[in-house]
Amino acid sequence: MSIDLISVPPTATVAEAAQVMSLQHIGAALVVEGEDLVGIFTERDIVRALAAEHDAATHDVREWMTKDPVTLDADVSAQETLALMLAKGFRHVPVTQAGQLVGIVSMRDLTIR
């Protein structure tokens, strides 16, 4: 799990979020409003947006993000996390503890190197 949380506001454009993700070498940005997690914006969302709209780069991420994403509690095991990610087709899942956002786990975090 990464505790270095990269986030964007829901008003960030697709292009702005893509730039942040590229510079940070990450595949998903957490969409945060105040201290609340309101969505997750992934590489897949970028592709989906650009394929659907010629000017999608200027649209807000709120239009393309996954709203109210599934989260996992910090005490969930790696096996349970992997099972959920495989079952749902997720590559990134936000992690919470006592209702607060504390990290994000990616499929890369769970693979044996």
Which CATH number characterizes residue 92's domain?
3.10.580.10
Residue 105 is predicted with a pLDDT of 96
Q: Is residue 2 part of a domain?
A: no
Q: Each residue of 17-68: pLDDT tens digit?
A: 999 999 999 999 999 999 899 999 999 999 999 999 999 999 999 999 999 9
- State which residues form the domain around 45: 7-110
Distance of CA 41 to the CA centre of its chain: 5
Q: What is the pLDDT, as a whole number, of residue 113?
A: 57
Where residue 111 falls among pLDDT bands split at 50, 70, 90? confident
- What's the pTM? 0.92
Q: Please give the tally of structural domains in the chain.
A: 1
What token pair was written down for 63?
């239009």
pLDDT by residue (tens digit) across 77-94? Answer: 999 999 999 999 999 999
Could you tell me if 83 and 32 are in contact, meaning their C-beta atoms sit under 8 angstroms apart? no
